[in-house]
Amino acid sequence: MGWFAMTVSVFGELLITVGLVLGLFVVYSLWWTNVVADREAHKQGDKVRDHWAQSPGGPGALDTKDGIGFLHVPAMNNGEVLVEKGTATKVLNDGVAGYYTEPVKASLPMTGKNGNFTLAAHRDGHGAKFHNIDKIDKGDAIVFETRDKWYVYKVFGILPETSKYDVKVLQTVPKESGRTKPGHYITLTTCTPVYTSRYRYVVWGELERVEKVDSARTLPKELR
């Protein structure tokens, strides 16, 4: 075998090795991190529900390190999503949605005051809880579950792409949403396009009604 042929052979083997390594990395990033995150989220979610069961009658606004409630979005077909405080990577990597504490602080619906309940979650890897955010349409339901209340929102605005530095979409009256007056809003944000973090995808909803949770925790009609 000549020098050139040998070089080509070695180079080809190196490319195959690199390809295998990259393939394993993709599997880890898009599958195994989901497995680990879902396991952790399920464990934390169980802690929240156990806490609710052991402390009946208390306010649903209680904020713990394990989570404050569960997000249900039928259009995303991803089951319930635990909601925790903060949007740092270490929070979202546990397969949950986090509410913003900065640069614009979220208004929690349990306060009963006008505001914007702003949330973020991963779109790919680490649970990918907002992977199907592009399946949401205007008029779809977003439901937030606490210990004692169901908060039912209706989607009214969608922004398929904006800068990741566009904090105006998180304001009390979110810019570009079409709303100009204070209200009870919810905002879902995640990365876009899929498998990148270059831009942000935004969905806005407005509170339609609040239902009291009964002893059987009967689901709102939107979730049945």
**Which active-site residues does the annotation give?**
122, 191
Rg of the chain, C-alpha, whole Å = 21
The contacts of residue 140 (CB under 8 Å, 6+ apart) are: 73, 74, 75, 154, 155
- The CA-based dihedral angle spanning residues 46, 188, 65, 122, taken in that order and rounded to the nearest 10 degrees: 80
Distance CA 161, CA 200 (A): 6
Q: Among candidates 88, 55, 57, 83, which has minimal Cα distance to 68?
A: 83
Residue 223: DSSP 8-state: G
- The CA-based dihedral angle spanning residues 80, 158, 114, 223, taken in that order and rounded to the nearest 10 degrees: -30
The contacts of residue 58 (CB under 8 Å, 6+ apart) are: 147, 148
Distance CA 123, CA 193 (A): 9
Phi, psi of 20 (to 5 degrees): -65, -40
Helices (H), 28-151: 33-54, 89-92
